[in-house]
A and B are shown apart, each in its own frame.
Chain A
Amino acid sequence: MAKFANIADPWMVLVFLVFGLIGLKQFINVTNTEITSFGDIWTLAKTQIWKGGEPLPGQVKFTFWHVTFFAWFCNMAMHVGMSDLSVFRFAKRSWYAVASGAGMYVGHFMAWLCASILYAYQLHLDPTDTNVLPGPLAYRAAGLTGLLCVIIAGWTTANPTIYRAGLAFQAVAPKWSRFTVTLITGAIATIAGMFPAIAMKLLGFVAFYGMLLMPMGAVIFVDFWLIKKFGLQSNYAQISKKRFNLAAGLTWFITLGACWWLVWTGRIEIYFVSLPGWFFAAALYIVLSFLYQKKLKAN
């Protein structure tokens, strides 16, 4: 799977770029806009492509800040929640981590810009056609290549997550082979993805599971990079032969509880809560470690 992803990657990035170029030209044609300078493109973008409007029923109105935060944090579970480590443990150099950043820029800025041009074009042709269907959008812009790109992009994006989920299931059922659990996980995810009721809730769902893993990412970061600077012990559960690090556990549950309360009471939207939540979890873990490690040492 990883081998195939390596080959698909440069091709896929360029096909995404092509989506944007073709979509832009289609907009120019359909609006009879004359482009003589970059300013004309900017005007077209502001007045025809990204002109705003009311959200679909049941969806949150996305502002510039929603998009910015979401671009950075929709993969929070992986990059901040540290589930990327399940793949990066095989990295031969530390700088391989820039792959995450590079992927975010290409996938969450360039590809989203291009995809939004295609969707805006669809709405321009028929304002009642609000279906968010990547396949038909891609096919209209780039034919079979576009369709192939959507399928491969979905597959290669899901691969590491399915692998990680497989590892997690394997931890629950160690006797199952990794191949079996990965296959079952992939099948469940595929079937779930076929239902629009689930797929259309993706935005809220990724924000939620990012929030779910965020505190543990802060714990891992602090435990590896910072905790010794405070005179505390890293990997404390392992060294003190405990099966459960209470400081880490409490940090997780308290942070989640606080974030959930903020979202539930409408004080902050779920898309924005995880960034301050990370700093809260990091500080809380240090404070709780002071208390926890001191108490165990005293005993």
Chain B
Amino acid sequence: MIKQITQIVSWLCLIVLVVPSVLFLTGKLQSLDQVKLVMLITTVVWFVSAPLWMWKEKNQ
């Protein structure tokens, strides 16, 4: 169950990592600083959540 949650969280992170830049490109988001902030947050969450299931899978 925990593994599934961390999987979902980490995959969501990758999606959210890209979405702000797409919105920025289309003009729906004006502030580049906001894009950078969201990217930084998703990066941190990705690097915390991904090892919880990726490294576990490798060890199995």
Interface residues of A (CB under 8 A from B): 3, 6-7, 10-11, 14-15, 17-18, 21-22, 24-25, 142-145, 148
How many A-B contacts if CB must be within 8 Å? Answer: 60
Interface residues of B (CB under 8 A from A): 14, 17-18, 21-22, 24-25, 27, 32-33, 35-37, 39-40, 43, 46-47, 50-51, 54-55, 58
Residues in A whose Cβ lies below 8 Å from that of B22: 21
**Cα-based distance from A145 to B17 in the complex (angstroms):** 10
Contact indicator B14/A18 (Cβ below 8 Å)? no
Q: In the bound complex, what is the Cα–Cα distance between A142 and B34 (angstroms)? A: 10
CA distance A10 to B5 in the complex (A): 18
CB-CB < 8 A to B40: which residues of A? 143-145
For B46, give the chain A residue with the smallest CB separation.
A11
Q: With A21-B21, A21-B24 given, is the CB distance from A6 to B58 under 8 Å? A: yes
Known: A3-B58, A148-B43. A11 touches B14 (CB 8 A): yes
Contacts of A21 in B (CB 8 A): 18, 21-22, 24-25
A3-B58, A25-B25, A143-B36 as given contacts; A18 in contact with B17, CB under 8 Å: yes
Contact yes or no, A145 B39, CB < 8 A: yes
CB distance from A125 to the nearest CB of B (A): 14
Inter-subunit contact B58/A22 (CB<8 Å):
no
Cβ contacts A to B, 26 pairs, < 8 Å: A3-B51, A3-B55, A3-B58, A7-B50, A7-B51, A7-B54, A10-B14, A11-B14, A14-B14, A14-B17, A15-B17, A18-B21, A18-B39, A21-B18, A21-B21, A21-B22, A21-B25, A22-B25, A22-B35, A24-B25, A25-B24, A142-B39, A143-B37, A144-B36, A145-B36, A148-B43
CB-based nearest A residue for B20? A18
Chain B residues lying within 8 Å of A6, measured Cβ to Cβ, are 54, 58
A22 touches B24 (CB 8 A): yes
| Contact of A7 with B47 at beta-carbon distance under 8 Å, contacts A14-B14, A15-B39 already known | yes
Q: Give the dominant DSSP class at A's interface.
A: helix
> In the complex, how many angstroms separate the beta carbon of A34 from the nearest chain B beta carbon?
11
Chain A residues whose C-beta falls within 8 Å of the C-beta of B46 in the assembled complex? 7, 11
Contact of A143 among B39, B47, B58 (CB under 8 A): B39
Chain A residues, Cβ within 8 Å of B47: 7, 11
Could you tell me the distance in whole angstroms from the C-beta of A19 to the nearest C-beta in chain B? 9
A22: B residues at CB distance < 8 A? 21, 24-25, 32, 35
Q: Which residue of B lies closest to A145 (CB)?
A: B39
Sample of 12 more A-B contacts, CB < 8 Å, known A14-B14, A22-B35: A3-B55, A6-B54, A7-B47, A10-B14, A11-B17, A11-B47, A11-B50, A15-B39, A18-B18, A21-B21, A22-B25, A25-B21
Given contacts A6-B54, A7-B51, A143-B40, contact A14 B32 (CB under 8 A): no
Q: Write out the residue numbers on chain B whose beta carbons fall within 8 Å of the beta carbon of A15.
A: 17, 39, 43
Give bound CA distance, A3 to B58, whole Å: 8
Q: How far is the CA of A157 from the CA of B50 in the complex (A)?
A: 20
